[in-house]
Amino acid sequence: MPTRVAIHSSVERIFPPEKLQSLLSELDVEVSDDVAEGTASGDAGDFDAVVSFGYEPGFLEADLDWIHCVRAGYDEFPLDALRERGVRLTNSTGLHGDSVGETALGFMLQFARRLHRYRSDQADKAWNPPTWDEAFTLNGESVCVVGLGTLGLGVARRADALGMDVAGVRRTPTPVEHVSEVYTPDELVGAISDARFVALTVPLTDETEGLLGAAELDAMREDAYLVNVARGGVVDQPALVEALRSGDIAGAGLDVFAEEPLPKDSPLWEMENVVVTPHAAAATVDYADRIAALVRENVRRREAGDSLTNLVV
Ligand code: NDP
Ligand code: 7N6
């Protein structure tokens, strides 16, 4: 039996659902939010699978055996409940090394070359060259990349290519290409305390929630910059605001926040040493094509009775 796939409208957050439907037109695939109700065309039987950005409680009511999350981060999905119901969850890790890697380096280059400041000055037609000791080069500077999977490697590879000294943190302390020293989470404070940049690229889990709190921010250099392209919850955001205000760190490039969209009254919007991006680090025009390839491969595996790639539970 061919796999009947529903594309949930939440994928709109990244690309039009119809775009993915047309890329997968050789499959039995429909854009539908009523996964429990079956196909809009009234055919008997429910969907087997749903491709979604977010989680809906209705997914557990439907007779699905597979959910594909179009994000790498699956922290919003109830893993225990899915496991109990025998619903498999796959994610989209592996797709974002280039996009997020380039965004993270973009943040770093902006701070080193002061581009963020000139862009703000441009709004006032203000000609403000840097002071003699303000600008620096990434070449010769150091970065600590916390999380060394797809994103972390995307950052490490680029930082290494620009002549930076790259250290990293992960639970498995095996050598990683482009990373001179790999630390474990219990060594986090030591790992970040010498770095000019700290880049967060870990999933949000019980272990990583609030990983970067007041003590870690305090341990960072006063001329250090934080880059968060992981999840807002990995950082204690009030402690970050305080560290930025008090000059405990020099600045931050933030793609992700405790609450998204970032509320209008957040002090982060108006800080001269902060660059805010709207959870856009992974955005790229070929995102839907990459998701289509992943879904196609897993439909093939499902129908062959093989284990799915990018399986979470
Ligand atoms: P991966 O699974 O490829 O990599 C995760 C890395 O984190 C691994 O190196 C893992 O290594 C490490 N890790 C896990 N737990 C810990 C821990 N407690 N302490 C230190 N390291 C840890 O995931 P991706 O790189 O694809 O994505 C990472 C996260 O980034 C996603 O979960 C998502 O939340 C976020 N993301 C954000 C995007 C954006 O648009 N801003 C885009 C894509 C992802 P080990 O197992 O050895 O610890
Ligand atoms: C979509 C970003 C992820 O976890 O947060 C990201 O993959 C999704 C552009």
Please give the pLDDT value at position 35: 87
Pick the atom of ligand 2 nearest to 284's CA: 9
The ligand minimizing its distance to the Cα of 107 is 1
Of the residues 68, 114, 178, 231, only one is catalytic, namely 231
Please give the pLDDT value at position 42: 47
Pick the atom of ligand 1 nearest to 150's CA: 25
CATH number of 4-95+285-304: 3.40.50.720
Question: Ligand 2: which residues within 6 Å by Cβ?
Answer: 14, 71-73, 92, 96, 282-283
Distance of CA 291 from the midpoint of ligand 1 (Å) = 19
Residue 215 to residue 189: CA distance in whole angstroms: 8
55, 76, 89, 96, best to mutate for ligand 2 pocket (most atoms within 8 Å of CB): 96
Residues 244-254: b if buried by 16+ CB within 10 A, e if exposed: beeebbbbbbb
Domain 4-95+285-304 and domain 97-276, same fold? Reply is yes
Residue-range domain boundaries for the chain: 4-95+285-304, 97-276
Assess whether the C-beta atom of 182 lies below 6 angstroms from ligand 1: no
Distance of CA 48 from the midpoint of ligand 1 (Å) = 28
Residue 138: CB partners within 8 Å, gap ≥ 6?
105, 108, 109, 112, 159, 162, 163, 164
ipTM of the complex: 0.99
pLDDT per residue of the chain (313 residues) written in tens, 0 to 9:
899 999 999 999 999 999 999 999 999 999 999 886 655 554 545 899 999 999 999 999 998 999 999 999 999 999 999 999 999 999 999 999 999 999 999 999 999 999 999 999 999 999 999 999 999 999 999 999 999 999 999 999 999 999 999 999 999 999 999 999 999 999 999 999 999 999 999 999 999 999 999 999 999 999 999 999 999 999 999 999 999 999 999 999 999 999 999 999 999 999 999 999 999 999 999 999 999 999 999 999 999 999 999 999 9
Asked about 260 being catalytic, the answer comes back as yes
Alpha carbon of 80 to those of 75, 157, 313: distances in Å?
Answer: 12, 35, 9
Residue 212 DSSP label? B
Of the residues 61, 76, 260, 272, only one is catalytic, namely 260
Of the residues 157, 279, 290, 301, only one is catalytic, namely 279
CB 167 within 8 A of CB 152: no
Pick the atom of ligand 2 nearest to 92's CA: 7
Please give the pLDDT value at position 34: 86
What distance, in Å, lies between the first and last C-alpha atoms of the chain? 23
Residue 93 DSSP label? T
Please give the pLDDT value at position 261: 98
Closest residue to atom 36 of ligand 1, CA basis: 230
Q: Which two tokens stand for residue 163?
A: 């002549």
Asked about 302 being catalytic, the answer comes back as no
Please state the length of the chain.
Answer: 313
Distance of CA 123 from the midpoint of ligand 2 (Å) = 30
- CATH architecture entry for 97-276: 3-Layer(aba) Sandwich (3.40)
Distance of CA 95 from the midpoint of ligand 1 (Å) = 12
Distance of CA 246 from the midpoint of ligand 2 (Å) = 31
Asked about 68 being catalytic, the answer comes back as no
Assess whether the C-beta atom of 231 lies below 6 angstroms from ligand 1: yes
Assess whether the C-beta atom of 112 lies below 6 angstroms from ligand 1: no
Closest residue to atom 8 of ligand 2, CA basis: 71
Q: What pTM value is reported for the model?
A: 0.97
